[in-house]
Chain A
Amino acid sequence: MHFSQNRWFRYVVVGICSSVVATGCIIHRGELSGPGYVRLEPSSYCPGDAMTASYDLLGTDVCPAGVDCAPFFPIVAIDSAPIAFPAQSITNYVGGVNFTAPDADQFTVTFNPDRDNVLIPTAETTPDGRVFLQRSSPDQIRSARRVSTVNQELVHGGMCAGSAPVNSAQPLPGLPQFSPNLRLTDLCNVNSVAVIVTLSGGPDGSSFMQTLSPGQCLASMPGVPSSTENARVVEVRPAVVDPGTRCTATGPSMPPPPLRTLARMQCR
């Protein structure tokens, strides 16, 4: 048994440990299987989207005041295939390219630093000299694909807010993974129980509430305002509280089961 490969442990710990406390001095080792130091957003794009390909080797650190970091900057070549933007070469710890989504069905962006590791000066010095951070900077490739429609199941986790059972609201697909130019075309109840959904978060500030039977979708119902296509958040609660749910302010509790909705979205 090799403990370090137990991804579930890492995720449980990140879930719990991240829950209440916040952040501080960070720790990084090259072997951590994080997302790397690059981003390509959105990775599912609509025609004409504003996109960004960026890298960040600093994270939450900064170049200390009074220290010239420029001699330690990497040179990062950023290229795309098929060509979505002219090739770039950026000399810095942080950089990026803004461009318009290409007509291609998909494309890749390659980030190619001129070194395997970068050094970042810290404010700390010792009798031996300044202390540096070392971060690995392997080549990275990210791909993005064009979408016209998106079907995404939203999972609304169950919680106890004091003695009240509640299910989490969920943001509709958007940045950083999905295009910000998606509109909601339908929302379906994929649970085995009736639910009450509320759509909100649109620019007009309105909200819309509707009861949906199992399998029922909003698009099949009369009287749904067109403003719902601009909604950004889906709230949901069961029409009848699940009998296994037990939320008490003081005693042992069992949160309600998760509820699911299926969002259908389309490029504007």
Chain B
Amino acid sequence: MNRIRSLYSIPLCSIALALTMTLGATFSAQAASASDLLRYYDKTTYSGALDVYVDLYAAPDKNGKVGAPQRYPAKLLFERPDRFRLVLRPGAKNEFRAVSEAGIVRWLDLATGFSGKEEADKVTDPLALALLGAAGELMRFSAAKDLPVSKGTKLSGARFDPKSYGSGVESGLAWFGSDGQPVGFEFNMTDRSRVFVAVMTFAQNVQTSPDDFKL
């Protein structure tokens, strides 16, 4: 009898992919296009730490006007395939923490004192889980194309169209500085809302410990 299951148990395969990826590949960031850079980070990132600002925009109104965003300063530590620690408004009274490991997200809201846990795939977009899942397969999941910006600009950009089944992300843009560092990302959601991420710092392949992913 065939056993039917959801895809959720499959991330085991991503462990193997993560272990076999090439860390520290030889690469000339200055000479690379934005889509090349996207591929590079995909192939060479096993873990990372980011300080970011996240802006959430509601869908435009009927006249195409976009309202003011909600802004969240945030810190993220992640380790492929499935572990992350996300802190929104770090240091503030209403700090929000969420940690994910082995498919379970645990969270704590300091503003209310509420805490809880939930299966990761119920609270996290499939794309995010997929992105954490494994390295080196970006192009299988998402077509990327360089954005034709003018000469002399300090940014290069790549547009990508995720193909993850069930994702709420319709398209995205990745921005890189002239030194090849990622500086920003944006995601256009299928409900026309939008997420903009300004990357303040990014450390690639950082050392983590199991305690990092506890509340």
Give the interface of A toward B (CB within 8 A): 1, 3-4, 6, 8-29, 31-35, 37, 56-61, 119, 126, 128-135, 150-153, 155, 157-162, 164, 166, 168-169, 171, 176-177, 198, 200-201, 207, 209, 232-233, 235, 252-253, 255, 258, 260, 262
User: Given A28-B165, A169-B155, does the pair A134, B52 have CB atoms closer than 8 Å?
Assistant: no
User: Given A34-B126, A60-B165, A152-B64, does the pair A11, B157 have CB atoms closer than 8 Å?
Assistant: no
Min C-beta distance of A5 to chain B, whole Å: 9
Min C-beta distance of B147 to chain A, whole Å: 6
- B200: which of A24, A26, A155, A253 is its contact (CB, 8 Å)? A253
Other 7 A-B pairs with CB < 8 A, given A12-B195, A17-B124, A258-B196: A14-B128, A23-B164, A25-B14, A34-B126, A35-B167, A168-B175, A258-B69
In the A-B complex, list the 9 residue pairs whose CB atoms are closest, starting with the nearest: A24-B133, A24-B134, A59-B165, A22-B42, A161-B177, A22-B138, A35-B190, A15-B195, A23-B141
Tell me if B155 and A14 are in contact (CB < 8 A): no
User: Given A14-B125, A17-B84, A161-B154, does the pair A34, B166 have CB atoms closer than 8 Å?
Assistant: yes
Tell me if B186 and A171 are in contact (CB < 8 A): no
Residue in A closest to B178 when the chains form the complex, CB atoms: A161
- A60: which of B17, B116, B164, B193 is its contact (CB, 8 Å)? B164
Tell me if B141 and A32 are in contact (CB < 8 A): no
Query: What residues of chain B lie closer than 8 Å to A15, measured between beta carbons?
Result: 54, 185-187, 195-197
CA distance A33 to B166 in the complex (A): 7
CA distance A111 to B86 in the complex (A): 38
Question: What are 10 of the A-B contact pairs (CB < 8 Å)?
Answer: A19-B197, A24-B17, A24-B80, A34-B168, A59-B164, A131-B3, A131-B4, A161-B154, A200-B149, A233-B147
Tell me if A160 and B116 are in contact (CB < 8 A): no
CA distance A201 to B173 in the complex (A): 16
Tell me if B118 and A22 are in contact (CB < 8 A): no
Tell me if A59 and B10 are in contact (CB < 8 A): no
Min C-beta distance of A183 to chain B, whole Å: 16
B130 within 8 A of A: yes
Min C-beta distance of A86 to chain B, whole Å: 28
Query: What residues of chain A lie closer than 8 Å to B163, measured between beta carbons?
Result: 56, 59-60
- A166: which of B2, B129, B154, B190 is its contact (CB, 8 Å)? B154
CA distance A65 to B174 in the complex (A): 34
User: Given A19-B52, A60-B164, does the pair A29, B42 have CB atoms closer than 8 Å?
Assistant: no
Residue in B closest to A263 when the chains form the complex, CB atoms: B64
User: Given A3-B123, A18-B127, A168-B175, does the pair A10, B183 have CB atoms closer than 8 Å?
Assistant: no
Task: Tell me how many residues of B have a C-beta within 8 Å of chain A.
Answer: 121
Min C-beta distance of B5 to chain A, whole Å: 6
CA distance A144 to B53 in the complex (A): 35
Most chain B CB within a 10 A radius of its CB, from A16, A32, A157: A16
Tell me if B166 and A133 are in contact (CB < 8 A): no
Tell me which residues from 165 to 215 in chain B have a Cβ below 8 Å from any Cβ of chain A.
165-175, 177-179, 181-187, 189-190, 193-202, 204
Min C-beta distance of B54 to chain A, whole Å: 5
CA distance A16 to B72 in the complex (A): 11
CA distance A69 to B40 in the complex (A): 34
CA distance A53 to B10 in the complex (A): 30
Tell me if B184 and A159 are in contact (CB < 8 A): yes
B131 within 8 A of A: yes
Most chain B CB within a 10 A radius of its CB, from A20, A21, A209, A253: A21
- B123: which of A10, A160, A209, A253 is its contact (CB, 8 Å)? A10
Query: What residues of chain A lie closer than 8 Å to B39, measured between beta carbons?
Result: 22
Tell me if B126 and A27 are in contact (CB < 8 A): yes
Tell me if A134 and B4 are in contact (CB < 8 A): yes
CA distance A132 to B78 in the complex (A): 30
Query: What residues of chain B lie closer than 8 Å to A22, measured between beta carbons?
Result: 38-39, 41-43, 45, 131, 135-138, 141-142
